[in-house]
A = this chain, B = another copy of it.
């Protein structure tokens, strides 16, 4: 897979070498980079290198570059950038960019910086900040050219010719005198209309508006589902707040998927270049939770120490039962979590899917139990151990498949993100059940 920097033909290695030389000159390939591209380069650098390169970023791009950076990387970089540098970027930024930069700054700095903004921006940014960092109202793009519903077609066309109102869309937002969202007009209809007609006569009501209180993920799903390139965001009074585009949705989805991937890997969604102590502290939390479940598994094994001394083969084989159960559960869990997120898993089909997962687990349980049992029999020449192992494997895989579909559904119902907690709970269950059934069964046979 070619990454962003390779696609740009930018050699980060060379850049880093040059950054540290005293007569650093920006390589020619950096001319004409856009903000997203700059942001991607900054994410690939240590904070010390980021500070050196920051001087070379064109002044008019600085606010965009900051707003395009991944949140965690931006936070660490801003924590070392001087107040003067931050202020310089903020005052030249669009309102949406300023809000994104503010997300990574401490409250005190925000209060100070907000006073430096132009009065217009100040009030718009304050409106945005009145939404939480999960609400779409906070990030709606306010820098949108709007057309008054009472305006005449001729005047509007005249205005559109000027570069100033140029925009990346074929449709223009129409609002009335109170700022209420009316609908949109299409450029080709403006062209075909009589010059004296008012916009009111041409306006189309949008099928879907995004309510400004919706979460970012809900808003992104709406834009995606609408098959349009952007949707208007309106507040409770019906006033136009701004646009939310498919590009914005892409950022939201990416963040969502990256944090799910990180959580499946038992780590927070952190900057590779985050300070060492911060990284260590964050990961310690995940390790601590895992340790609890590991001790629980050990406690279960501890219950059966007598049979372990008696038949050492049990100690050798027991990880297999836990591990195969863990994988079976993880397979069902992964598909169930996605099914819940996409709506593919719903209450009518839940029973069908649970049955399907159990059957799939039973089929694989039978096949692998035969394989595992046969190998164990040959290895330890003990038919009883082989039979107990095979049975324990089947039981653990069946339990795992049921838990793999029931747990995410229960978590979702009580409002806990299944992607965050599902995997830990599941592993705990498959470990405990695996050791319990295998060693417990063995105790019954060998100690009686």
Residues of A within 8 A of B (CB): 1-8, 12-13, 16-17, 32, 34-37, 40, 43-46, 157, 160-163, 165-171, 186-188, 191-192, 207, 215, 217-218, 221-222, 224-229, 246-247, 249-250, 253-254, 257-258, 260-262, 264-267, 270, 272-273, 276-277, 279-280, 283-284, 286-288, 290-291, 293-295, 297-298, 301-302, 305, 308-309, 312-313, 315-320, 322-324, 327-328, 330-331, 333-336, 338-349, 352-353, 356, 359-360, 363-364, 367-368, 371-372, 375, 379, 417, 431
A261 to B375, CA, bound (A): 32
B324 & A291 in contact (Cβ 8 Å cutoff): yes
* Supplied contacts A161-B191, A288-B368, 5 more A-B pairs, CB within 8 Å: A3-B340, A12-B346, A229-B246, A257-B260, A279-B356
- Per DSSP, chain A at the interface is helix
B346 & A5 in contact (Cβ 8 Å cutoff): yes
For A250, what are the chain B residues with a Cβ–Cβ distance below 8 Å? Answer: 224, 246, 249-250, 253
A287 & B327 in contact (Cβ 8 Å cutoff): yes
Whether A333 touches B265, Cβ cut-off 8 Å, given contacts A301-B316, A312-B309, is yes
A34 & B226 in contact (Cβ 8 Å cutoff): yes
CB A1 to nearest CB in B, in angstroms, measures 6
CB A292 to nearest CB in B, in angstroms, measures 11
Number of identical protomers: 2
A-B contact pairs, 12 of them (CB 8 A): A3-B343, A6-B343, A13-B347, A46-B352, A161-B192, A170-B187, A261-B334, A280-B359, A280-B364, A283-B331, A298-B316, A309-B312
A368 & B3 in contact (Cβ 8 Å cutoff): no
For A272, what are the chain B residues with a Cβ–Cβ distance below 8 Å? Answer: 335-336, 338-339, 344-345, 353
Chain B, residue nearest A41 (CB): B343
CB A33 to nearest CB in B, in angstroms, measures 9
For A297, what are the chain B residues with a Cβ–Cβ distance below 8 Å? Answer: 319, 323
For A215, what are the chain B residues with a Cβ–Cβ distance below 8 Å? Answer: 1-2
B301 & A315 in contact (Cβ 8 Å cutoff): yes
Among B32, B301, B368, which residue has its beta carbon within 8 angstroms of that of A287? B368
B168 & A167 in contact (Cβ 8 Å cutoff): no
For A218, what are the chain B residues with a Cβ–Cβ distance below 8 Å? Answer: 1-2, 7
CB A321 to nearest CB in B, in angstroms, measures 9
Among B1, B169, B348, B368, which residue has its beta carbon within 8 angstroms of that of A170? B169
Whether A286 touches B327, Cβ cut-off 8 Å, given contacts A225-B8, A257-B257, is yes
Whether A188 touches B163, Cβ cut-off 8 Å, given contacts A13-B348, A227-B36, is yes
CB A160 to nearest CB in B, in angstroms, measures 5
B294 & A323 in contact (Cβ 8 Å cutoff): yes
For A264, what are the chain B residues with a Cβ–Cβ distance below 8 Å? Answer: 261, 264-265, 334
A343 to B13, CA, bound (A): 11
For A298, what are the chain B residues with a Cβ–Cβ distance below 8 Å? Answer: 316-317, 319-320
A286 & B331 in contact (Cβ 8 Å cutoff): yes
A74 to B192, CA, bound (A): 41
Chain B, residue nearest A344 (CB): B44
